[in-house]
Structure 1
Amino acid sequence: MTTPPEVPGGWIRLLVRSKLAVGRDFRVLDPDTDEQRYLVDGKLSLLGAKAEVHDAAGRVLLRLASQPLDLAKRFTITGPGGEPVAEIRGKRFSPIRERMTLTTATGATWEVAGSLLEKDYAVTAPTGPVARISQKWLALRDTYAVDVAAGTDPALVLAVLWCVDHWVEQRDR
């Protein structure tokens, strides 16, 4: 196995491990201590896919929801009180590359582009890189390395990861 690239200065690295659950849960760990930093609690129902991003103390930071029977790849992301935070939309994808756009409530955008085969994604804003999401360097299936740029909300990056993973899992069924 090749070693992962170094984390750029000022960035943080998180390890994201899938938990066996209906709806796809993720434990988000500090890679040095294995201490849990976040939990992404996924839920699937007839009313659409949903998830919550929790901090280490169990407080809800973000909620994600798709619309039932929505053929478009789209999730709305809200804060714990229901206030709009962002929307992520998936573009029609090729068999190899995937593209998504996240638009925040303030109008800022992130582009998510990556390889479905390697599960390797780059998240960029007009000002530069925001995050890197990858399974490419890891031997463990269902484990991602997530590198988050300084000043970027890790919870929002984890919301993006859950959406991407959800869409990839749906495609593989």
Structure 2
Amino acid sequence: MKTFQVKQKMWSLGGKFTITDELGIPTYLVEGSYFKIPKSFTISDMQGNLVSKIDKQFMTFLPKFDVILADGRSFTIKKEFTFFKPRYTIEGLGIEVQGNIWDMDFVLRKNGQEIARISQEWLRMTSTYNVEVYEDSYAGLVISLVIAIDYVKEQQAASSSASN
């Protein structure tokens, strides 16, 4: 099992930050596009090796992301329309994302078995997630999902505050 902390910087142009392991050692580097429409993210390890590339699809009713992993696998993350419980589907990997009603905790399952648990910390100035990955081979995939889902939540919060 591996544990990571995803903590964005308060003032980061485009969204550049590191992801640390349970000891606080930088493990991944996330770089978001700056002034690019649609938004994209590149995730690499600390040696500069590509882990994944995330591209937001342009002009979709609900947020949708295409993710290409370094090993060539690709999948799509899509937010579903729901009234209460946030729901995301992943097309192409057989993984299910389930979140609680507050949209703060997520569990990832493959074939009914839990492969990762993601929880967002409350009362933080920036988005901070604790990520537990139960099998090392899913680490890059799980980190990519967290980045995409966090971006959706960030955009929803921005549009909610703009409408008030």
| TM-score between the two structures when normalised by the length of structure 1 | 0.78
Work out whether residues 116 and 168 of structure 1, in 8 Å CA contact, stay in contact via their aligned partners in 2: no
- Write the distance in 2 (CA, Å) between the matches of 1:103 and 1:87: 5
1:36-72 deviations in whole A, cap 9, x for unaligned? 0111212254521110111111222210101222223
Q: Which structure 2 segments of 5+ residues have no match?
A: 159-164
Structure 2 equivalent of residue 109 of structure 1: 94
- For the pair 1:15 / 2:8, whether they are aligned, the reply is no
- Number of residue pairs matched by the alignment: 156
Displacement of 1:115 in angstroms is 3.0
- Write the distance in 1 (CA, Å) between the matches of 2:35 and 2:60: 13
- For the pair 1:90 / 2:75, whether they are aligned, the reply is no
In structure 2, the CA distance between the partners of 1:151 and 1:58, relative to structure 1 (3 Å rule), is closer
Work out whether residues 13 and 31 of structure 1, in 8 Å CA contact, stay in contact via their aligned partners in 2: yes
- For the pair 1:42 / 2:32, whether they are aligned, the reply is yes
Displacement of 1:79 in angstroms is 3.5
Identity %, equivalent residues: 22
In structure 2, the CA distance between the partners of 1:64 and 1:42, relative to structure 1 (3 Å rule), is same
Structure 2 equivalent of residue 68 of structure 1: 58
- Which SS does the other structure have where 1:171 is aligned? helix
| TM-score between the two structures when normalised by the length of structure 2 | 0.82
Q: Which structure 1 segments of 5+ residues have no match?
A: 1-10
Displacement of 1:155 in angstroms is 1.1
- Write the distance in 1 (CA, Å) between the matches of 2:34 and 2:87: 23
What CA RMSD, in Å, does the superposition of the two structures yield over aligned residues?
A: 2.2
- Which SS does the other structure have where 1:168 is aligned? helix
Structure 1 equivalent of residue 162 of structure 2: none
Note the 1:1-173 alignment, pairs <5 A.
11-19=1-9, 20-32=11-23, 34-80=24-70, 83-94=72-83, 96-104=84-92, 108-115=93-100, 117=102, 119-136=104-121, 140-141=124-125, 142-173=127-158
- Which SS does the other structure have where 1:69 is aligned? coil
Displacement of 1:103 in angstroms is 2.5
Work out whether residues 130 and 152 of structure 1, in 8 Å CA contact, stay in contact via their aligned partners in 2: no
In structure 2, the CA distance between the partners of 1:167 and 1:93, relative to structure 1 (3 Å rule), is farther
- Write the distance in 1 (CA, Å) between the matches of 2:112 and 2:102: 28
- Write the distance in 2 (CA, Å) between the matches of 1:39 and 1:109: 26
- Which SS does the other structure have where 2:116 is aligned? strand
- Write the distance in 1 (CA, Å) between the matches of 2:73 and 2:33: 20
One-letter code aligned to 1:120: D
More off after superposition, 111-120 vs 83-92: 111-120
